[in-house]
Copies of this chain bind each other. A is one copy, B any other.
Amino acid sequence: MSSGFSFELEACDGRTAARAGRWKTPHGGVDTPAFMPVGTQGTVRGLLPEQLRQAGAQMLLANTYHLALRPGAEVVRDLGGLHPLMDWDGPILTDSGGFQVFSLARLRRLDDEKVVFRSHIDGSLLELSPERAIRIQEDLGADCIMCLDECPPADDSRERILAAVDRTTRWARRCRDAQRRSDQALFGIVQGGIDEELRERSVQGLLPLDFPGYAVGGLSVGEAPADMYRTLEFTVPQLPADRPRYLMGVGTPTDIIESVCRGIDLFDCVMPTRNGRNAMAFTSSGPVRLRNAVHARDESPLDPCCECPACTRFSRAYLRHLFMAREMLGPILLSLHNIWFYQKLVRDIRIAVNSGTVEEFRANQLARWNGRS
């Protein structure tokens, strides 16, 4: 299974668990640590594929739940899959749809066989099972696909988190057995909340299934950052060193640095695009809120350290004007800037890992952002 993939570590930091590597996929290589912009409905909101490339993005994420509802997995399959549909010839990752079923849809029934839910779009009754999640993801045709998992809220009882861990393990086996395409890497997902014993139980359940990569799920779902970092500290070392490790849905720039230092290779998050649409920019000196009146006559660039189109061609005053006037170009430019910021961040971390200076890089960045990113 999963031919056309290889993962090579280039450097491992001596003082932290940070690593730099290169992950080859059927649609090209990904330098890790890597950040995947999120194209929920088969488009990173407001941006063309060439703009993502120019920003340095190598791999995108698309959401199975949304695409299965609209336009439908079979439609995407009949149109040749996600790559030609989106005009993105680089690697793509899809999630299993489970997270959105549990967070967005109206749940009707959950048992070991499957989850039954109502579409958040038209209320129609739908179901998702491990086999169906794989089938849909094979239709969508991403390079990297995910096992269906159960992701309980951070404040759920230990008993329920334990049950979710065991169901996630049983579902992972069924997903692996359901896989028919050999050109997709299927990742197992570790659950277990912030409980050391449950995370170990989850890892131990998944390891015999020998996945080509492992995702850490169930984090950044309401717990404190310190709890997330601690959980990574006792979870990640149990994962095979020679496979990519993906922290799902995380996070702030600080989260990304801290998680790389704890051994994570892959990230995705809606934050750069969602915050960008809301006039919030990540910059080298911390977040900037463009709607603030202080920018009304400011001729200076958003971030003098950034080479993106928003920073090299326009002033803060103009960017603010676009938001005040509710012009589409505001969300477009700030989404683009934030993607550039995230891509530069992971590139810089990678350079720091390769040069053995990741501790210094972390300290410098956190000091510059002053706890605000």
Q: Do A297 and B328 touch (CB < 8 A)? A: no
In whole angstroms, how far apart are the Cα atoms of A41 and B317 in the complex? 13
Residues on B with C-beta less than 8 A from A41 are 321-322, 325, 327
A329 touches B71 (CB 8 A): no
State the number of copies, please: 2
Set of chain B residues within 8 Å of A331, measured between Cβ atoms: 328
- Identify A318's interface contact among B42, B45, B46, CB under 8 A: B42
A75-B297, A325-B41 known; A48+B317 contact, CB < 8 A: no
A86→B314 CA distance, assembly (Å): 7
Indicate if the CB atoms of A43 and B327 lie closer than 8 Å.
yes
Contact B70 A325 (CB under 8 A): yes
A321 to B72, CA, bound (A): 10
Proximity bits, A288-302, B CB within 8 Å = 1, else 0: 000000001101000
Q: How far is the CA of A41 from the CA of B321 in the complex (A)?
A: 9
A78 within 8 A of B: yes
Would you call A79 and B318 a contact (CB within 8 A)? yes
A87 in the interface, Cβ–Cβ < 8 Å? Answer: yes
Question: For residues 33 through 56 of chain A, which have their beta carbon under 8 Å from a beta carbon of chain B?
Answer: 41-43, 45-49
Chain B CB within 8 A of A286 CB: no
Task: Give the interface SS of chain A, mostly helix, strand, loop or mixed.
Answer: loop
A45 near B297 with CB under 8 A, answer: no
A105 within 8 A of B: no
The verdict on A48 contacting B315 (CB below 8 Å), with A321-B71, A331-B328, A332-B328 known, is no
User: Which A68-96 residues sit within 8 Å CB-CB of chain B?
Assistant: 70-71, 75, 78-80, 85-87
- Tell which of A70, A75, A317, A329 has the most Cβ of chain B within 10 Å: A329
A30 CB to nearest chain B CB (Å): 22
A332 to B314, CA, bound (A): 19
Does A26 lie at the interface of the complex (its beta carbon under 8 Å from any beta carbon of B)?
no
A297 to B166, CA, bound (A): 40
**Cα(A47)–Cα(B327), bound, Å:** 10
Q: Does A309 contact B (CB under 8 A)?
A: yes
Asked if A324 is at the interface of the complex by the 8 Å CB criterion, the answer is yes
* Complex CA–CA separation, A138 to B314 (angstroms): 21
Q: Is A15 an interface residue (CB 8 A)?
A: no
By the criterion CB–CB under 8 Å, are A328 and B325 in contact?
no
Cα distance A331–B329 in the bound complex, in angstroms: 12
Given contact pairs A79-B315, A315-B79, A317-B79, A45 touches B87 in the complex (Cβ within 8 A): no
For residue A322, which residues in chain B have a CB less than 8 angstroms away from its CB? 41, 43
Residue of B whose beta carbon sits closest to that of A277: B328
Does any Cβ of B come within 8 Å of A313's Cβ? yes
Q: What residue of chain B has the Cβ atom nearest to residue A332's Cβ?
A: B46
Partner of A296, one of B49, B71, B313: B71
CB closest residue in chain B, given A309 = B48
Can you show 24 pairs from A to B with CB atoms below 8 A apart? Answer: A41-B321, A42-B321, A42-B325, A43-B322, A43-B327, A43-B329, A45-B327, A45-B328, A45-B329, A46-B329, A46-B332, A47-B329, A49-B313, A70-B325, A75-B317, A78-B297, A79-B315, A79-B317, A85-B318, A86-B318, A87-B314, A328-B328, A328-B331, A328-B332
Closest 7 CB pairs of A and B: A46-B328, A87-B313, A41-B325, A43-B329, A71-B321, A43-B327, A85-B318
